[in-house]
Structure 1
Amino acid sequence: MTSDAIDQLRRAVAVPWQGSSDFDLNPGIVLPQNRVLRPAAVLVGVSRTPDGPRLVLTKRASHLRNHPGQIAFPGGRQDKGDADLVATALREAEEEIGLPADAVEVLGALPAHETVTGFMVTPILAEITREFTPRPDPGEVAEIFAAPLAHVTDPARFRVERRIWRGTWRNYYIVPWGPYYIWGATARILRGLAERTGPCR
């Protein structure tokens, strides 16, 4: 990863900014004020490659109850044994993709994101500091791949699409790359990062 790219990412976590939601593009949806959101964390892991920095993503298994088949960061709900949400993200990344915690340098936490499935997700931004052998958890992950960081942090690559959700139209961001349709919470988190960094090369 170039020093310019890592500097851009460090600046993104150093400056406070507002969190996001799956409902950001749908102002007509009124959410209950007494809703209870379950804490979760994902690892936004970036690695160096000869072709520039790349972001590690997964394609979720098709049999999962929540978000089957979608493109996602490795991550999940916080367990009682997790010391904090950083620990959650690191544990989940090791379980889901075989990324050892000692191969990760945490840069900081991005603002939390509320999902339609009732989670408050904290993205943990990190640099993957050495090579590792990706090992997908067959119970959760169908595929592991790495997208160019410059692509998914370029605001010009994002579009807004919509579909029917619970009887009404729901708008959402997408940032497709190759055969991968990156949308929903993953795309919204990346959109927030892109707005503050621009393309990271």
Structure 2
Amino acid sequence: MTLDDLRRVLKHRFPERLASQPPVMGDHDLNPDWQAERLRQTEGDRPALRDAAVLIPLVARPHGIQVLLTRRSADLPSHAGQVSFPGGKVQPGDLDFADTALRETEEEVGLARRYVEIAGHLDPYETGTGFAIRPVVGLVAEGFDLTIDAREVAEAFEVPFSFLMNPENHQRHHAVWQGRRRSYFAIPYGRHYIWGATAGMLVALQRRLFTEASE
């Protein structure tokens, strides 16, 4: 798939703007007991989710489209050492979720927004840690340089889009969290262990682009 092919698919499968809608996918999807608890709660009983946005950067390379990911610094107080998309919490001065994602990407890895073409949004993703993440899909032109903020990011690396979009590479793993057995998506790639919300959003991207399109 070329970048132009992907651009056409994205424009067809994704809304240009994301409405202010509650999360419709998340960590609870693989955990029936968690999902049942959510459904029993009224809107007023549910803890307020904190808004955040991430950029899913799809990079055009001569050898094929790549996805830019980061490994978080081991010194961070939360999610230390985990693989993630560049992104973070919404700040008062942000114009919209895309602006949040672009600002955080510039701050974390130095990818200038002039290289990024916003192609659409995934549905909001609810995490077990209380965030409503808005995934923003961006097409990234070549020619950019990265400047890593070592306080937040240990490294930035690229993974082939074709690998991440292959359902055979989507695994379900399990762990005990807060005293309960929890299931989550994982996409191991070489020495990198992509899991949790990041893997869940990649699975959602694959389903939106390819699985839902074939139904």
- Give the TM-score band, short-chain normalised: over 0.9
1:138-162 deviations in Å (ceiling 9; x for gaps):
1110000011011111112101010
- Residue 33 of structure 2 is aligned to residue 28 of structure 1: yes
How far residue 14 of structure 1 moved from its aligned partner, in angstroms, is 4.0
Partner of 2:62: 50
Partner of 1:102: 114
- Residue 95 of structure 2 is aligned to residue 83 of structure 1: yes
Kept in 1: contact 2:27–2:200 (CA 8 A): yes
- Give the counterpart letter for 1:128 in structure 2: V
**Which residue of the other structure, out of 135, 147, 150, is the alignment partner of 1:135?**
147
- Residue 63 of structure 2 is aligned to residue 63 of structure 1: no
Partner of 1:4: 5
How far residue 13 of structure 1 moved from its aligned partner, in angstroms, is 1.2
Consecutive unaligned residues of structure 1, counting only runs of 5 or more, are none
Kept in 1: contact 2:10–2:120 (CA 8 A): no
Kept in 1: contact 2:61–2:142 (CA 8 A): no
Give SS of 1:142's match. Answer: strand
CA distance in 1, matches of 2:137, 2:50: 20
CA distance in 2, matches of 1:135, 1:76: 17
CA distance in 1, matches of 2:3, 2:117: 15
Higher helix share: 2
State the structure with more CA Rg: 2
Give SS of 2:30's match. Answer: coil
Query: How many residue pairs are counted as aligned between the two chains?
Result: 198
Give SS of 2:32's match. Answer: coil
Matched-pair identity in %: 37
